């Protein structure tokens, strides 16, 4: 029974991730058109990590009840699925669609040179747990 419940939560998490990745793709397009010409490519990518986290948090917050999770393990599992799918998506789109070099792709992951994606990915992983905890705190007031 527990495996079926986890499978259902993961499938729902995948559906939410599809919404997240669509929103993040739009976000990236807007970044390219509006922000990158003003501040440059790398600074625009840095700023986009922060705004991207807000987008993800909002989608997670709005979908938290629909995920039908019952414990922290399920929430962290959803976060892990989002993390793996997002890294895979970033690398596949970066290499195959945008034809970025490996150096360009990995520059976002190099925290010692200003790459903020590891922080964004950590927050992505924790977002399902954080949003459910926040909803629980808000209900107590």
pLDDT of residue 1: 56
Does pLDDT of 21 surpass 90? yes
CA–centroid distance for 31 within its chain: 16
Categorise residue 101: left if φ over 0, alpha if ψ from -120 to 50, beta otherwise: beta
> Domain residues of the chain, as ranges?
2-134
pLDDT band at 19 (very low <50, low <70, confident <90, very high): very high
pTM above 0.95, yes or no: no
Distance between CA atoms of 108 and 18, rounded to whole angstroms? 22
Please state, in angstroms and as integers, the Cα–Cα distance from residue 25 to each residue in 7, 94, 138, following that order: 26, 12, 30
Distance between CA atoms of 133 and 136, rounded to whole angstroms? 5
């Amino acid at each position: 029974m527990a495996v079926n419940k986890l499978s259902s939560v993961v499938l729902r998490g995948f559906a939410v991730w599809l919404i997240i990745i669509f929103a993040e793709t739009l976000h990236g397009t807007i970044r390219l058109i509006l922000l990158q010409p003003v501040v440059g490519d790398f600074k625009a990518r840095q700023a986009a990590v922060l705004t991207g986290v807000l987008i993800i948090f909002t989608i997670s917050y709005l979908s938290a009840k629909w995920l039908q999770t019952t414990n922290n393990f399920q929430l962290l599992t959803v976060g892990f699925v989002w993390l793996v799918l997002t890294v895979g998506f970033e690398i596949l789109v970066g290499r195959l669609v945008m034809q970025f070099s490996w150096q360009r792709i990995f520059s976002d992951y190099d925290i010692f040179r200003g790459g903020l994606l590891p922080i964004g990915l950590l927050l992505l992983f924790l977002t399902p747990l954080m949003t459910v905890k926040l909803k629980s705190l808000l209900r107590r007031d």
